[in-house]
Amino acid sequence: MADVRQQYTDELYNNFGYFATWEPGTIRQIGEVGEMKDNEFIRITNLKNLGIEFNVLTDEVKHDLSYSSKGSVTVTQKLSGTTTPKASSLGELESGFVVEFGKEKAVLLKAIGVSTEQIDDQVALTEAIIKLYNDKKWDKKWTVITELKHAESATIIISNSANSKIEISAKGSVGNTSLNIADAELGLSVVASTGINTEIIGKKNLTPLFRLKGIKTSLFGGNPVVKDRGLGEEADEVAETGSEPDSRDIKDSYNYGKSKKK
């Protein structure tokens, strides 16, 4: 049976196509170099320490991220001056949330103000990595974070058992309005929990998702290429093509249209 780390990272990769940061509160950075071990990125160094300079391109359009394990997570909002049988630990004048999980290792991820950062010149990056590899200064197991989702604030909760529950209060009397469980400005805090494995509540500046590139070689003795790394791929996996890298392997595959600031 998959452990909590594997369940969490697998679910988010399958939903978003990105690796999930583990532990969820860990802060990742563009250009970090490390190894993937059991779905966890283990940092070793960074590109600048290896002599590779780069610029970061940030998408101007921010958005929200939301994910919950299908059919297993219920979020109930409680406003000040109201009561709900589910919120046994929240007073009548308190605002907050009650989150219930119907199965073990179920996931709730809510993030707001999410922007996407990526290394700007992927062609130059590829050339630099291949040079280091050929000079025996880049380990084949290494990968580099080339794209990163940065959240202004986020809440991430993972259940430890079925029928688990967590109650969260918002600071002060918010009143009759819609609340967001990821909003750090609400001053969210846990007042009661049962059967919860991981709870990151309204934390600012998280980096929940990222993408990686790494070296791949061919069984046929061709040149090494730099390709996107997928979940579960081993470091010694061979390239699917023969001796020459496809241009799509070295060019930036992400196209963020320029947006005017409103």
pLDDT, tens digit (0-9, with 9 covering 90-100), for 207-262: 999 999 999 987 776 789 999 999 877 544 443 433 333 333 333 333 333 333 43
Task: Render the burial of 28-62: b for 16+ CB within 10 Å, e for the rest.
Answer: bebbbbbebeebbbeeeebbeebebebeebebeee
In Å, the largest CA–CA distance within the chain is 71
CA dist list (Å): 8 to 42, 49, 55, 109: 17, 31, 31, 10
pLDDT, tens digit (0-9, with 9 covering 90-100), for 24-37: 999 999 999 999 99
pTM of the model: 0.84
